[in-house]
Amino acid sequence: MTIQQKAFPVAPITDAEIAGAIEIAVAQVRRNLPDFTFRMQNHSSVDNFYPAVDNNQWTCGFWPGEVWLSYELTGDKVFRHVGQIHVQDFLHRIENRIATDHHDMGFLYSPTCIAAYMLVGDEDGRKAAIMAADQLIERYQPVGRFIQAWGEMGAADNYRYIIDCLLNLPLLYWASRETGDEKYRDIARIHAATTLANSFRPDGSTFHTFFMDPVTGGPVRGATQQGYRDDSNWARGQAWAIYGLALSYRHDPKPEYLEMFGKALAFFMTRLPKDMVPFWDQIFTDGDDEPRDSSSAAIVACGLCEMADIVGGAAAEEYRDLARRFMKSLVDIYAVKDPKISNGLVLHGTYSKKTPFNNCTPEGVDECVSWGDYYYLEALMRLSRNWSSYW
Ligand code: GLY
């Protein structure tokens, strides 16, 4: 894919700037260890500071993921020690099914337990991640061929999947590799194919959620939950689509994933403001008085690096160049440099903004968001070295 927008408004970040940003971010992670070893970070900050919470949110895997990235970046055993304490907490969570009645097992168990198993051979991490994969496939709906995102299984008002789930699928591919049992991979492949068939509009933009017919299994309609309205483009949904398609292509290299990656990326690019960090919904652009979602830029940067690693050649250079531009803006304008203003890594994320046309609970508007911090550090990691992904 050739990226259409030729005159990028932001320069690519240099290696030295990446190294400086990593140093600042890892120092912040280190500073946070005392508060978040036995408790987790809330999904989003409050006035730019994360409160500590129990391990019962869908987002609790991201902070441990930052700890594992910091371990890889420094080799400092303090990060490994804390990461392995987190593993015990995540094992307890899945063994006792604490707030696990949803599809976000990949977000929870990939950057925590798979990371711990990959990096230090933590067997409890392996066990917990396989249990999480078992839980995830329980949410598979054969009628419609998708993993149900939320709510009681089969409930008519929740007979749907969401675009974000593409990031939960790598847990299933991993579980098949680990166990030799194809059942996880089969469901991941089917779910990804259903997503590709329904969730993308002809212009490459996305529906956040998609309802299926519980009787016929046919597609019913796209709807938003966290975007501005059903026919707008929620920035983070588009970001999940871009990174999710790259991961789908990695694990199941069908050309249609690569092709849709190009279309989804092209759409995302055409709706960016000058500093390349999207407004929370891409219905908004320069001149609108609306918050940004910095996390979307970080997620897309990771997706670009992932696809670059797979395809190689000139396209890879183009994708990495673009990732460097997103990161330049995030590092220069959005990243926290002074711990007195925030205990997060990146400012100006948006979790859920209520509008007259969506059903979300307003939370974390113009705040740090835990996945934004995680993917920011993952993108810096990916641009600084060859990285073996947790996903
Ligand atoms: N997966 C939910 C979100 O991105 O807010």
Print pLDDT tens along the chain (391 aa).
455 556 788 999 999 999 999 999 999 999 999 999 999 999 999 999 999 999 999 999 999 999 999 999 999 999 999 999 999 999 999 999 999 999 999 999 999 999 999 999 999 999 999 999 999 999 999 999 999 999 999 999 999 999 999 999 999 999 999 999 999 999 999 999 999 999 999 999 999 999 999 999 999 999 999 999 999 999 999 999 999 999 999 999 999 999 999 999 999 999 999 999 999 999 999 999 999 999 999 999 999 999 999 999 999 999 999 999 999 999 999 999 999 999 999 999 999 999 999 999 999 999 999 999 999 999 999 999 999 999 9
pLDDT confidence of residue 4: 54
CATH number of the domain within which 254 lies: 1.50.10.10
344 and 273 in a single domain? The answer is yes
| CA dihedral of residues 213, 101, 58, 264 (deg, nearest 10) | -20
Identity (one letter) of the amino acid at 347? L
Residues 6+ apart with CB under 8 A from 307: 246, 249, 258, 261, 315, 316, 319
CB burial of 272-286 (b: ≥16 within 10 Å; e: otherwise) equals: bbebbbbbbbbbbee
**Structural tokens at position 193:** 């194919």
Out of 104, 122, 293, 373, the active site residue is 104
373 and 254 in a single domain? The answer is yes
What domain range includes position 209?
139-223
Check if the beta carbon of residue 161 is closer than 8 Å to that of residue 191. Answer: yes
308 and 363 in a single domain? The answer is yes
274 and 163 in a single domain? The answer is no
pLDDT confidence of residue 7: 75
pLDDT confidence of residue 22: 98
pLDDT confidence of residue 112: 98
Q: Tally DSSP H helices, then E strands, for the chain.
A: 13, 9
pLDDT confidence of residue 100: 98
Number of domains in the chain: 3
Q: Is 46 strand, coil or helix? A: strand
Domain end, chosen from 176, 193, 223, is at 223
| Ligand 1 atom, smallest distance to 352 CA | 5
Whole-number Å distance between alpha carbons of 295 and 329: 12
Whole-number Å distance between alpha carbons of 71 and 85: 14
Tell how far the Cα of 338 is from the centroid of ligand 1, in angstroms: 27
Q: What is the pLDDT of residues 110-135, one digit of tens each?
A: 999 999 999 999 999 999 999 999 99
**Structural tokens at position 10:** 């932001």
Q: Atom 3 in ligand 1: which residue has the minimum CA distance?
A: 351
Which residues form ligand 1's pocket by a CB distance below 6 Å?
Answer: 164, 226, 236, 351
Q: Is residue 40 part of a domain?
A: yes
Q: Is residue 362 part of a domain?
A: yes
pLDDT confidence of residue 5: 52
21 and 41 in a single domain? The answer is no
**Structural tokens at position 77:** 């055993």
123 and 41 in a single domain? The answer is yes
104 is catalytic: yes
Q: Is residue 13 part of a domain?
A: yes
Helical (H) or strand (E) element with 218? none
